[in-house]
Amino acid sequence: MAITLRKKSEIDTMRRAGAIVGETLEYLRSIVKEGMTLKEIDSLGEEFILKAGAKPSFKGLYGFPASVCTSVNEVIIHGIPTDYKVKSGDILGLDIGTYLDGYYGDAAITMPIGDIAQEDEKLIACSKDTLYSAIESIKTGMRFKELSSILENSIRDAGFVPLRDFCGHGIGKKPHDEPNIPNYLEGKANQGPKIKNGMVFCLEPMVCQKEENPLILDDKWSVISSDRLNGSHYEHQVAIVDNRAIILTNP
């Protein structure tokens, strides 16, 4: 497995690409309200990215038809924007990518629409808290499998389970690169590549309530759990600098 080590100039460019992702997510979080359609939300996100000087990297990526993944309720990731109008009680995942000066940015949030169920509040908190605690745990010399174990333990300790078959990933001149970083441990934690200064990757806890197995809906994109219950997703892009992880996708 060849994991690229990035120069400071490359990380600086990805920080600019990532900041636009973070700013777009915060913008959408502030304006999305009950009655807006997913297509309207996607259009607003695309417009914001373009005005910031970047390109929406998801549009056309692997054939994806939109700039923002809009994942409602049981859809955990890769939701396609439609004419569906969000309503109070929904939870909405927003996943956004940018392309700027040859490099990619990528992050996601799950947000409430109006008043949501207590269990959905716990779901969102689990994916967010898992993400930030995992980032805090990163140090050079630890293995990526150790990081996967930390992600899984955090999700399970909160009473939920990680979605299988989808994962965090390296990022740079490609939107998805080595390594793959599952939210669960495969094999032994003391095996596989180690985290080094200069590595850039995305962590993205994907949280299900009861069952881990994914199902892909008829649109060929939207991913749900086989329990068909609501799920949540949070993501940040990080770089390893001076032996610790710094978040590149803060606004």
pTM: 0.97
pLDDT tens track, the chain, 251 positions: 689 999 999 999 999 999 999 999 999 999 999 999 999 999 999 999 999 999 999 999 999 999 999 999 999 999 999 999 999 999 999 999 999 999 999 999 999 999 999 999 999 999 999 999 999 999 999 999 999 999 999 999 999 999 999 999 999 999 999 999 999 999 999 999 999 999 999 999 999 999 999 999 999 999 999 999 999 999 999 999 999 999 999 99
Rounded to whole angstroms, how far apart are CA atoms 149 and 130? 11
Q: Answer yes or no: are the C-beta atoms of 78 and 34 closer than 8 Å.
A: no
Q: Answer yes or no: are the C-beta atoms of 185 and 151 closer than 8 Å.
A: no
SS3 per-residue string spanning 169-182 = EECCCCCCEEEEEE
Q: Domain 8-247 is of which CATH architecture?
A: Alpha-Beta Complex (3.90)
Ramachandran angles phi, psi of 191, nearest 5°: -120, 160
Rounded to whole angstroms, how far apart are CA atoms 56 and 75? 21
Please report, for the chain, the start and end positions of each structural domain, with discontinuous segments joined by +: 8-247
For residue 200, the surrounding DSSP H or E stretch is strand 200-203
Q: Cα separations (Å) of 65 from 43, 193, 223?
A: 12, 35, 16
Sequence-ordered list of residues with C-beta below 8 angstroms from that of 9, at least 6 positions apart, any chain: none
Rounded to whole angstroms, how far apart are CA atoms 70 and 80? 6
Q: 144: alpha, beta or left, given left = phi > 0 and alpha = psi -120 to 50? A: alpha
3-state secondary structure of 242: coil
